[in-house]
Structure 1
Amino acid sequence: MSLNEAIELARGNRYQEAFPYFEKAYQGELDSFNEWSWYFYSKTLGKIGKLEAALKVNHFLLKKKPDFAPNLNLYGWHLHKSSIKNADNEEKLLSAANFIVKHTKQEQYSPYERTVIEVLKFMKDKPNTNYNQVLYWTEQLDPKLLNQEVFSFTTDEGKRMEIASPLEFWYQHRIRALFETKQYEGCSSLVDEAMSAIKSFHYSNDIWFRIRQAVSIGQLGDVEDAIVRLHAIGREKQYWTVYQELFHLYIQQEKFEKALEMGSFALLEKSGEFKHKIKLLVHMGFALEKIDKPKEALLHYCFVVKLRADNNWPIIPKIEDRIALLQQEESAPNNIKRELIEFWKEIKLQSLPKGTGKVKSLLPKGNAGFIESNTGEDLFFQVRNVRTRKIDVNSKVNFHIMNSFDQKKQRESKEAIEIVVI
């Protein structure tokens, strides 16, 4: 009777107690084992940490009863735990994942959905993501069956955190993969669907979706619409990638001065390190040569060489050739980075209107406030944009005005930058 006792204990989640009964039954009652006996034996082994033994029982039962769904799901969960969760071996991970999507279904209590999500996370974290693989794995999920509920938790520091829902996660990876594989029409359509389906976005996904949609629209031929969309996004979030995309669109239109303005905005934004902006720096150099500014082009090329050397990356032969050619007439200064920052600032500020006024108020934390301009307009400012001595209420100031976005009121606004106390 050891087998019946073992099964009852396992049904009651008393796996440590069930294990010796299963071992005894295995020695003396093997002929009495049916598919449910093997199922609970495997489940018990998995629960007490004997995962390899559990997998062997799953494999044995698969051969004996290939259509027994409870074993297929249990086998999948054991494979998920052994080969997929926290995986560091791609071949092993994909082998297990392919087995799971072949033998289980996307339904409650199945390892199917969790497995595909883990595979997509693994793909995203690879140094060179294969977006065709990402497309394949997103195709293994039916978005209509994915949950929209977010997972929330409290950190040890008492901070409330949220993780995106499985549906938002799917849109995030599917949209990126369509974009990276240049399937622009599909990308744009899916963004519309996502913006309608997701109630609350995480990780600024709504912004990234709209950026990729705007660029896709530009790639499909409507450059003007793409530019309008990206400028609107840029007023909400000053991401350097937004300005970089605007740079490329203006280059496409051969509006080199406007392109350089957008490139300067991108390069001055602190949201990305210079080593991630190397391609933009190269194209800035090309654009400067187009408008006959060889000295400034040389600065950009020399900075690219320095960044690549600092990161132990090989130097691009084409850039070395450009430097050799330009250095016949120009020479690069010692502090290339400082010269470039001043150059970008000059271009950026030339495009922005100027203003004069006084500080109306400072917010309680003292890191931001409002300026009342001489035209009577209230402008938000951040103290980090003050370029001279300490600022205080009633300080008279000069500044430049940049279009911005009031996140609290969800409307376009204006912000004072490059503030100088007078």
Structure 2
Amino acid sequence: MASLYDFSQAISKLNKEKKFAETLKYFKDGKNEFTPEQIGLNKYIVYEMISALIETNHYDVIFNFIEQHKLVLEPKNFSYLLKKFKDKPSVNWTVVNKFCDLVSVDSLDTECRTIEVERKGEKKPMELASSKEDWFAFKTKALFETQHYQECFDLSKVALESFEKFHYSNDVWFARRIALSKKHLGNSADALNELLLILRRKKEWFIQNEVAQIYKENGDNEKAFKFAISAINNFGDLEYKVGLLVLIAELLALKDEKELSFKHYSLSKLLRLQEEWNVPNSVSSALSQFTFEQITIEKLPDLKRELKKYWSSFNPQQTAPKQNTTQRQTGKIDRILHNDEKGADGFIKFDGNKSIYFRVNATEEIIKKIAVGLEVEFKVLPATEDKKEKAVQLKTK
């Protein structure tokens, strides 16, 4: 008879070799040698077994395992287990939501670990979010994805008030969930204003898409089209923009541009077929309303090229906006909004009492010296239609 220690070591070895199905079989065959209490009190077995159950998608068994062995999950390991759900190709947010409730958020650690990462051949320290911040990030996301919008709104507000410093732009994502929850709760005006503010900091295609959706719902199709085109031209895999393509198709139909609308619906359908995803009935139904000849999957590359050319026609001409080159300005960093693994941003005081926004990437040399009171030289990038002026090309004075 193997000891409990040997039993736990064998389970750990199988998991390290990624033989998760074998882990479950080994546990099933050997668990009767020990009492449920013995297993439940062994934190190593508990951690490895829940890991294996997550890896093999045996989600219901996780909760049965916890109940059977009367487990109280260790806060120290909880964040690691939670992150395993996010590594799955398709996240089951209902399970994540339930899993988050297995631990009291107040019991979770607020300490932030620092690890060393390599960027462009240079090793740099990177601070990780605390277990408590991770919990809020997962729980609010799970609440939103499972359509518990009032709870998501309330908890996201608590999250924003709970930390002085955020990681991975979590403050942006909490603010976005607040805005989108407001939309689903019937307050689209506030949601739109808040999403537009978020776009100033995080110009992501899916936020532009959300803004476009609200404008369309409000009947402002011109602005909806503008933001939808910005989103399709923005960085991001086209395969994940199949819903955005449908939005553009709907807006083109409203403009009576039938052939372009048909081609956007077709691209959305063909991308789904290529990825072996289901084609929604709404897309098939919309395509059946047109009299054009259906586009086959073999024509997908040609269709992509054609529509990319169409989208790029809405981009400003490739003449970069003129910068204020009369002379470099000088000033002092007056306030820092964020300084994390992605870079830093804030405001510079210059020319008496003027204030100007700046942002520097984590790869820029000056990032190591960013601090309130630092004297800097910079150029001014003038304001455009949808952006305020900002300081660029920062150097220490």
The TM-score range, normalised by the shorter chain, is 0.5 to 0.7
1:240 pairs with 2:202: no
Q: Does 1:62 align with 2:35?
A: yes
**Equivalent residue of 1:159, what SS?**
strand
Q: Which moved more, 1:165-174 or 1:112-121?
A: 112-121
Counterpart in 2 of 1:227? 192
Output one character per residue of 1:371-406: Cα deviation in whole Å (capped at 9) or x when no partner: xxxxxx999999xxxxxxxxxxxxxxx9992545xx
Match of 1:75 among 32, 38, 42: 42
Residue type of the partner of 1:186?
E
Instruction: Provide, for residues 74-129 of structure 1, a one-character-per-residue CA deviation record: whole Å limited to 9, x for no partner.
Output: 434223235526953233x76466434664665xxxx5335654553343333443
1:321 offset after TM fit, Å? Answer: 5.2
Alignment-derived partner of residue 277 in structure 1 = 241
Verify: 1:204 aligned to 2:169, yes or no: yes
Alpha-carbon distance between aligned partners in 2 of 1:285 and 1:301, rounded to the nearest angstrom: 6
User: Which of residues 121, 126, 130 is equivalent to 1:165?
Assistant: 130
State the shift of 1:308 in Å. Answer: 2.9
Q: Which residue of 2 aligns with 1:11?
A: none
Judge conservation of contact 1:46–1:54 (CA < 8 Å) in 2.
no
Q: Is the 8 A contact 1:211 1:233 kept in 2?
A: yes
8 Å contact 1:403–1:414 — kept in the other structure?
Answer: no
Contact 1:217 1:223 in 2 (8 A): yes
Matched, 1:176 2:141: yes
Residue 298 of structure 1 is matched in structure 2 by: 262
Question: How many angstroms does 1:273 deviate by?
Answer: 0.6
Query: How far 1:229 sits from its partner (Å)?
Result: 0.4
1:185 to 1:291, Cα distance in 2 relative to 1, 3 A: same
Q: Secondary structure at the match of 1:200?
A: coil
Distance 2:238 2:65 in 1: 43
Q: Which residue of 1 aligns with 2:372?
A: none
2:101 corresponds to: 139
Name the structure, 1 or 2, with higher relative contact order (CA <8 Å, separation 6+). 2
Q: 2:383–2:390: 8 Å Cα contact kept in structure 1? A: no
Name structure 1 gaps, 5 residues minimum. Answer: 1-22, 27-40, 363-376, 383-397, 405-411, 417-422
Aligned equivalents of 1:45 and 1:319: distance in 2? 53
C-alpha separation between the residues in 1 aligned to 2:359 and 2:74? 50
- Higher mean alpha-carbon deviation, 276-285 vs 304-313, is at 304-313
Query: What secondary structure is seen at the aligned counterpart in 2 of 1:401?
Result: coil
Equivalent residue for 2:252, pick from 288, 298, 322: 288
SS at match of 2:42: helix
Following TM superposition, by how much is the alpha carbon of 1:172 offset from its aligned partner in structure 2, in angstroms? Answer: 1.0
- Give 1:99's aligned residue: 65
Gaps of at least 5 residues in structure 2 are: 14-22, 329-354, 361-380, 393-397
1:340 aligns with one of 307, 310, 327 = 307
The letter for the 1-side match of 2:85 is M
Partner residue in 2 for 1:401: 384
Whether the 8 Å CA contact 1:401–1:415 is kept in 2: the answer is no
| TM-fit CA distance, 1:216 | 0.8
Write out per-residue CA displacement over residues 147-169 of structure 1, whole angstroms, 9 at most, x where no aligned residue. 11112122476332333211111
**Pairwise CA RMSD:** 4.4
Structure 1 residue 315, shift from structure 2 partner:
5.0
Q: 1:46 to 1:320 in 2, by over 3 A?
A: closer
Alignment-mate amino acid for residue 123 of structure 1: F
Asked if the contact 2:382/2:390 (under 8 Å) is kept, the reply is: no
* 2:109 partner SS: coil
- Give runs of aligned pairs for residues 372-411 of structure 1, distance below 5 A: 401=384, 403-404=386-387
The answer to whether the Cα contact below 8 Å between 2:113 and 2:127 also exists between their aligned partners in 1 is yes
Contact (CA 8 Å) 1:85, 1:118: kept in 2 or not?
Answer: no
In the alignment, the residues of structure 1 paired with residue 246 and residue 212 of structure 2 have an alpha-carbon distance, to the nearest angstrom, of 12
2:74 maps to 1:112: yes
